[in-house]
Amino acid sequence: MGIRFHINYTKESDMLGTAIFDVPPNAQVSGVCGNSHSTLTLTFYDAMFNLTLSFSRERGDDHVTTYRGTAARLSFEEVPAIFSDTLTPNKPREISNTTLNLFPTNARHSYKCSKVISVALTKNVSVAFYQVQVQPFDVQSGNFSQAEECVGDSKGGKDEILIVVVGVVLLVIAVGIAVAGVIGRRTQKSKYRPLENIAD
């Protein structure tokens, strides 16, 4: 999974700057796995950056158990190597969002998506996830369970079947209207006789 941040900050010139950086592949990974709550923490850039994603498992009114990412917390320092010409070099910052709905999936499945998933954590911080496959619960032998693919990734999935069905129904309706129009015209023509026939 790839993770890229866009963070707005104030430069020495009082102008707005944007720091863009990826979570490196050698980030340290830690976390807690529970029955209904799990967390994943990525620590990187000499422990100056920490990203924690929180997941919850819930049972809905329809008795279907699902999980989703519910919160993200990022703590970091405005290191000049990333935050060029920052007004506050090496200042510690922390942002969080506890109202997320990331990677919603039925229990005992993994979530998979090759599209970019962009999320605004705050008005100044956004994060993009790409090439995602996650499963915070019910992992067996260290392997992902059957994947539920995000909308747009699945080939021949429910959405595509729905589009085909709607297309067929519209085609049948159009053919029905055309046939009714042709029959209606023939019926009207048979009711009227030409004027020369009436004169005879």
Per-residue pLDDT reduced to its tens digit, 82-138: 999 999 999 999 999 999 999 999 988 899 998 999 999 999 999 999 999 998 888
Highest mean pLDDT among 40-54, 58-72, 105-119, 182-196: 40-54
Same domain, 64 and 105: yes
Q: Which long-range contacts (CB under 8 A, 24 or more apart) does 20-27 make?
A: 21/82, 23/49, 23/51
Angle at the Cα of 28 (from 19 to 88), degrees rounded to 5?
A: 30
Same domain, 128 and 181: no
pLDDT band at residue 63 using 50, 70 and 90 as cut-offs: confident
Closest to 6 in 3D by CA, of 14, 111, 16, 15: 16
- Model confidence pLDDT, tens digit, residues 124-182: 999 999 999 998 888 877 888 888 898 766 554 444 445 555 555 566 666 667 666 66
Same domain, 75 and 143: yes
Same domain, 174 and 132: no
Same domain, 13 and 107: yes
Same domain, 143 and 190: no
Same domain, 145 and 166: no
Helix H or strand E encompassing 164: helix 158-191
Q: How many domains does the chain have?
A: 2
Angle at the Cα of 185 (from 181 to 191), degrees rounded to 5?
A: 145
**34/71 Cα distance (integer angstroms):** 16
Residue 44 structural domain: 2-149
HSE-up (13 A, CA, CB side) for residue 118: 3
